[in-house]
């Protein structure tokens, strides 16, 4: 799927609202199931899903720390407040630069008993799943921040925050789960 730029202004309505926290959590599980099954990294391939899924869930909401009213932002106002003022919602934390800094930061932690390779990879997958989820919605994300141009799924972006979003997240999760545990020959994809 190609990226497409959009100059859609940053305003909130039913059509342009971001993916919900519930949607992001479901989608992070889908993504880590796929990453595990597709053996995205050796560590992800070898690790148990019992270890990977909680880590993906743990990082799936981190990008929305830039919004004081997000689920995580409400728990950590001392962090979400400054982040919101500095970057605005869906700014820096929703960019590849933030992912790169996160990957670099995790690489500096050399404590396998605390953060194994699989744990680090699952945290990254969870974070990326959030960006991918928001990219699917009409509002898009500033992938190459500080360039403020937003990118979103071309064509028919996912209508966020309602039944469409829930159905999409549950369906993709069910398909991913079936691929991981079933034998439908989807491996060819
Ligand atoms: Zn977000």
Q: How buried is 156 (Cβ within 10 angstroms: 0-12 exposed, 13-18 middle, 19+ buried)?
A: exposed
Q: What span, in angstroms and rounded, lies between the C-alpha atoms of 42 and 121?
A: 10
**Residue 130 CA, ligand 1 centroid: distance in Å:** 6
**Residue 182 CA, ligand 1 centroid: distance in Å:** 31
Tell me: pLDDT of 135 over 90.
yes
Nearest to 12 by CA among 133, 149, 138: 138
**Residue 150 CA, ligand 1 centroid: distance in Å:** 13
Give residue 163's pLDDT band: very low, low, confident or very high (50, 70, 90). Answer: confident
Q: What span, in angstroms and rounded, lies between the C-alpha atoms of 110 and 49?
A: 22
pLDDT tens figures, 54-113? 999 999 999 999 999 999 999 999 999 999 999 988 899 999 999 999 999 999 998 888
pLDDT tens figures, 62-79? 999 999 999 999 999 999
pTM of the model: 0.86
Question: Which residues face 150 on adjacent strands?
Answer: 6
Q: What span, in angstroms and rounded, lies between the C-alpha atoms of 20 and 150?
A: 19
């Amino acid at each position: 799927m190609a990226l497409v730029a959009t100059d859609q202004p940053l305003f909130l309505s039913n059509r342009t609202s971001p993916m919900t926290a519930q949607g992001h959590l479901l989608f992070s599980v889908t993504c880590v199931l796929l990453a595990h099954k597709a053996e995205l990294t050796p560590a992800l391939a070898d690790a148990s899903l019992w270890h990977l899924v909680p880590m993906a869930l743990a990082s799936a909401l981190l990008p929305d720390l830039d919004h004081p009213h997000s689920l995580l932002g409400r728990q950590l106002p001392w962090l979400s407040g400054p982040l919101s003022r500095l970057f605005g919602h869906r700014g820096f934390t929703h960019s590849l630069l933030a992912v790169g800094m996160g990957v670099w930061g995790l690489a500096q932690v050399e404590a396998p008993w605390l953060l194994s390779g699989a744990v680090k990879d699952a945290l990254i997958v969870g974070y990326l799943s959030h960006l991918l989820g928001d990219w699917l919605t009409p509002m898009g994300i500033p992938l190459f921040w500080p360039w403020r141009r937003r990118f979103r799924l071309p064509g028919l972006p996912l209508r966020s925050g309602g039944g469409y979003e829930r159905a999409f997240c549950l369906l993709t999760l069910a398909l991913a789960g079936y691929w991981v545990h079933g034998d439908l020959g989807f491996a060819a994809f």
